[in-house]
Structure 1
Amino acid sequence: MHAVTERPIDRYFASYSSDHRNRLNQRIHVVAVPAILWSVVALVWCVPVFGTLLKTGVWAALAMFFAWMFYYRMSRPLGLGMLAVFFFCGCLCRLLEARLGLPALLGLAVAVFVLAWIAQFIGHKYEGRKPSFLTDLVYLLIGPAWVLAKFYRQMGWKY
């Protein structure tokens, strides 16, 4: 019989989960991690690209593409889910830019980023453990996949 090989994503999730055992902290993360992800996409969205027809969104698209490649290599099902998440983030940025203007999108992104991080640190105060990314920055990418994996498990989907 062959032993089941643990995938890197499973090791990352096990480590991340060990820093997120408190139920309140987990609930905060389910809201704050996607909010931080969107706010980072929106902040990068606002960086202009001079000398092209596309004035915004180019850098965000590139960042989302490279992050998506990371997720897809770790787990194809999670990669596809993160592709949908990134598509939603990009569409939301485009919609808000069109409706509110770029300065308002930037202000909203900054506000969401700050508030979501405050929530994260409150959650970790209740947890009594430091955030995972303080030990390894790759956990900044693992957090969104961990939240998505929770959704997959609730739906009975494999990742």
Structure 2
Amino acid sequence: MEQIQTHQRRRQIDVLLSRYAESHQHPVNEIIHCVCVPAIVFSFLGLIWSAHPLAAYAAVMTSLIYYFFLSPRFAAGMLLMSAAMLAVFPLLPQAHIWQIALVVFVVAWIGQFIGHKIEGKKPSFFDDIRFLLIGPLFVLGFLYRRLNLAY
């Protein structure tokens, strides 16, 4: 019973990151995720951008609201990361963004599934779709810990 009460006192972000980490223990899988998760975010935003740039901004704002409720400090980090990604799209040939994004998206997801094959566990989002949004925070958490930043 005490374990349940301790679990309930933890912040939701800590619970989600802990659950996400359960299927991301292998060092190779962690490295793959540190490369592929940002690539997936970038490519996903690129696909949305190619439909309409305002839709990409709306997707970022929607995710930032969710991130803010989980952790304002993570939301700030995601704002910086998203802004950097969105700043790249106007520099690319607009007619080819969807093609570039699609290739990056597919290659990055293949990398993710290779990482999970190495890990021996299925991706977390198969159990809870929210983990598609937690993955970027998991990766950002590595940077925060390295910089000794609280989240």
**TM-score, with structure 2 as normaliser:** 0.93
Which amino acid in structure 1 is aligned with residue 85 of structure 2?
A: C
1:70: which partner in 2?
A: 66
**TM-score, with structure 1 as normaliser:** 0.88
2:82: which partner in 1?
A: 86
SS at match of 1:137: coil
SS at match of 1:46: helix
Separation in structure 1 between the aligned mates of residue 120 and residue 57 of structure 2, nearest angstrom: 36
1:28: which partner in 2?
A: 32
Give per-residue Cα distances to partners, 1:65-112, cap 9 Å, x unaligned: 00011111100110100000110111011221xxx2x22111100000
Give per-residue Cα distances to partners, 1:44-68, cap 9 Å, x unaligned: 0011xxxxxxxx3110100100001
1:37: which partner in 2?
A: 41
User: Which residue of the other structure, out of 87, 91, 95, is the alignment partner of 1:95?
Assistant: 91
Number of residue pairs aligned between Structure 1 and Structure 2:
145
| 1:5-154 → structure 2 map (5 Å cutoff) | 5-47=9-51, 56-96=52-92, 100=93, 102-154=94-146
1:51: which partner in 2?
A: none
Q: Where do 5+ consecutive residues of structure 2 fail to align?
A: 1-5
Separation in structure 2 between the aligned mates of residue 95 and residue 103 of structure 1, nearest angstrom: 12
Which amino acid in structure 2 is aligned with residue 122 of structure 1?
A: I
Separation in structure 1 between the aligned mates of residue 66 and residue 76 of structure 2, nearest angstrom: 11
SS at match of 2:135: helix
Identity of aligned residues (%): 38
Deviation at 1:5, TM superposition (A): 2.8
Structure with bigger helix share is: 2
Q: Where do 5+ consecutive residues of structure 1 fail to align?
A: 48-55
RMSD over aligned Cα atoms: 1.2
Separation in structure 2 between the aligned mates of residue 79 and residue 67 of structure 1, nearest angstrom: 9
